[in-house]
Structure 1
């Protein structure tokens, strides 16, 4: 006789489920939220029971989905951790149901993402390949529509700093100037998100969204700078802000007519100095795996690859 799989119940967590959420363990070789971090960030409101989902069979948890959001937010931003106690097709089925439940519950609003962080060498590890594969299938069956592989970098204040640029001048500017620059650098961009938004909604919508998004990040708006040649010609801009945890190379852009002259290195070097001069011990940054010029710039500026980030987006 072939055993039958018990029915799976997908439900939103409640405060009474916090012990079950924190006890959850996984052996998958991708990043996961452990009990200590979950406990700490339940206190800050970055994770919340009502932003968490459980899959159960016969009353026993067989899957967990944790969504992360800003502590002052009324809606999460990313699905940070998706795991199941099974593998293969069952993991895909349970994972897709957990994804779908969250997307349906959170409804319309800013596009949500599902992030899977893996080691830089994950593609050569069969177990990691499988962990990434089933989450990819679950993401798309559950409602995410596109996937981008990104590379995360970091450096510390003890790493050798790149030379500070001397051929550019940096100056503050108002929001309208930065909005125009967001639109200008979209042409010919190697960033998958930029190209997707432009194709779907147009450059004006992209510029509006980018301005709103980067203004919403932690950090000092007064640190944003436009970059100019000595004659005043604008070649690009930098936006040094923060993630929830670290100083960040949030955005830099070179306008199309000045690409090919290595200004990306000047912009990144300036951002590195801005953060370290402000006393920041660690700086992080991320770029698409396909964006080889930006990857080379990070390496030249003393950044080290810390992980590969697979981003599933709506």
Structure 2
């Protein structure tokens, strides 16, 4: 059990396969992965398990963990060895995320693959956090025309975004936000979300939109952008006092419209399965579920 030596061992690392394999070379070049965060378990020259973290500059997400069929014990052993080297002593391991087919529970092979991996990380103390819908809008899908109820403008800088993001945490249905609020104040949680996600966009912040009533009162916001992989709707929200009035449809449509005007090949988004109002809004806007993710977390240091 050892980390890979570098880019030259990607072929070895990819003898077990996963949907993120095509991103690994670019991630290594960009520093979003490091060879010392990418571990393999070999029996002779045969790959039986692999694990990798993603992050910049520190490992933020355990997003690749693969084992041969039935090799749960080998997977646990590899995770133990890799954790000892990658996770600081006394630190809490980063969240585990795996992309899965939308109907993974109904497909015996997909279910086996997922359940074996989850069994391994559970033995190391991980617990379920949330299951999420991964969504996609495709060019040619109609975008609702503005109704005139709302006006849209660019945000007045980071401070306004943090203030709005703090306000929408009141009553949030998002599992990650609710988890953050167990350890942080709402303002701290909003700032952390901004810095770890929105700040890494490689697109202009003047794509972002604040929705207001005609008198200028903010109603909500949307952050269309590009992360290192896709055009995305990174965050869409309605302020608590304006919820339940259908504004989310108009705000999401505006964000989609901004990206469509850039000629993007697709728009990606995600929301918790339990956030049924947001999932319904994406469905009304023509976003389709192309995948899901299962997210597990460690509640404490190992």
Interval containing the TM-score (normalised by the shorter chain): 0.7 to 0.9
Structure 2 counterpart of 1:177: 160
| Aligned partners of 2:151 and 2:214 also within 8 Å | yes
State the aligned residue count.
Answer: 293
Structure 1 counterpart of 2:53: 67
| Aligned partners of 1:98 and 1:142 also within 8 Å | no
2:113 to 120, 127, 131: 131
User: What per-residue deviation string (whole Å, max 9, x for no partner) do you get for residues 263-291 of structure 1?
Assistant: 11111100000111122221000000111
| Aligned partners of 1:170 and 1:228 also within 8 Å | yes
| Aligned partners of 1:18 and 1:49 also within 8 Å | no
Matched, 1:250 2:234: yes
Shift of 1:149: 0.2
Structure 2 counterpart of 1:14: 5
Matched, 1:119 2:118: no
Structure 2 counterpart of 1:55: 41
Q: Which whole-Å CA distance do the structure 1 matches of 2:127 and 2:259 have between them?
A: 35
| Aligned partners of 2:32 and 2:57 also within 8 Å | no
Q: Which whole-Å CA distance do the structure 2 matches of 1:97 and 1:165 have between them?
A: 57
| Structure 2, gaps ≥5 residues long | none
Matched, 1:98 2:89: no
| Structure 1, gaps ≥5 residues long | 1-9
Q: Which whole-Å CA distance do the structure 2 matches of 1:114 and 1:206 have between them?
A: 20
Matched, 1:77 2:60: yes
Q: Which whole-Å CA distance do the structure 1 matches of 2:280 and 2:238 have between them?
A: 15
Q: Which whole-Å CA distance do the structure 1 matches of 2:112 and 2:150 have between them?
A: 47
Structure 2 counterpart of 1:278: 262
Flag the 1:229–1:40 CA change in 2: closer, same or farther, 3 A: closer
Structure 2 counterpart of 1:147: 129
| Aligned partners of 2:259 and 2:267 also within 8 Å | yes
RMSD: 2.4
User: What per-residue deviation string (whole Å, max 9, x for no partner) do you get for residues 79-109 of structure 1?
Assistant: 332111231xx41x33233334444433358
| Aligned partners of 2:137 and 2:288 also within 8 Å | yes
Q: Which whole-Å CA distance do the structure 2 matches of 1:157 and 1:204 have between them?
A: 36
Matched, 1:207 2:190: yes
